[in-house]
Amino acid sequence: MKPEFLKEMGLNEEQITKICAENDKEVSAAKGTGEQDAAKLKALEGENTALKEQIAEANKAIEGFRGVDAESLNAQIADWKQKYDQSVADNAAKEAERDAKLAQMELDTAVKEALTAAKARDHKSIKGHLDFDTIKLKDGKLFGLTEQLDRVKADHDYLFTPEQASGAGFRGTPPTNDADAAMVNAGFGITN
């Protein structure tokens, strides 16, 4: 505001000075607010530009999905899920089958070792007399076999090698005197 305008209105110098001072304060305050508003406007313009870029990118992504058959994709997803579930089931069945075969092999090996220890002559013939449903292998130990082997030995002793009487296996008449015994021992290389 100009002081001449206020003089023409008939105001005195003191009033003009006060009005001009107040006007200067308001102008300064308005300039400060204007600068703040300009900074806010610049920030909003930058934000607006960034949002426009995001919208453009989103529109490009949407264009990439045009022509895609959602029902076909869902059908493919269901088909792959079914194949996966079938594969998991098949693997579980194969694993169970493998475990059963392994357990049977361990049982067969343990029975074979037990038959060998029992001096069985013909394992196959003896196995025909055994009830394998009652024979169990637990922690490397056989249960239910010993009783069956005892029964088979009692009924079919010819299937087992007979136990040898204890001794050196010497056949014949034992020496009657010490001289004869010494001569026999010397013949076999036995020294006292």
pLDDT digits over 97-108, tens only? 999 999 999 999
Higher pLDDT, 3 or 49: 49
> Is 104 inside any structural domain?
yes
Tell me what the mean pLDDT of segment 8-30 comes to.
82
Query: How many domains does one find in the chain?
Result: 2
Q: Is the pLDDT of residue 37 over 90?
A: no
> Is 33 inside any structural domain?
yes
> Is 123 inside any structural domain?
yes
> Is 165 inside any structural domain?
no
> Is 11 inside any structural domain?
yes
Residue 27: the pLDDT is 78
Q: Is the pLDDT of residue 167 over 60?
A: no
Tell me the backbone φ, ψ of residue 142, rounded to 5 degrees: -90, 135
User: Quick count: other Cβ atoms within 10 Å of Cβ 155?
Assistant: 9
34-38, 144-148, 175-179: which is most confident: 144-148
Enumerate residues 6+ apart whose C-beta is below 8 A from 51: none
User: Quick count: other Cβ atoms within 10 Å of Cβ 125?
Assistant: 13
Radius of gyration of the chain (CA): 55
Residue 33: the pLDDT is 66
C-alpha span between 161 and 6 (Å, rounded):
143
> Is 116 inside any structural domain?
yes
Residue 1: the pLDDT is 64
> Is 75 inside any structural domain?
no
> Is 69 inside any structural domain?
no
C-alpha span between 132 and 77 (Å, rounded):
48
Domain span holding position 115: 99-159
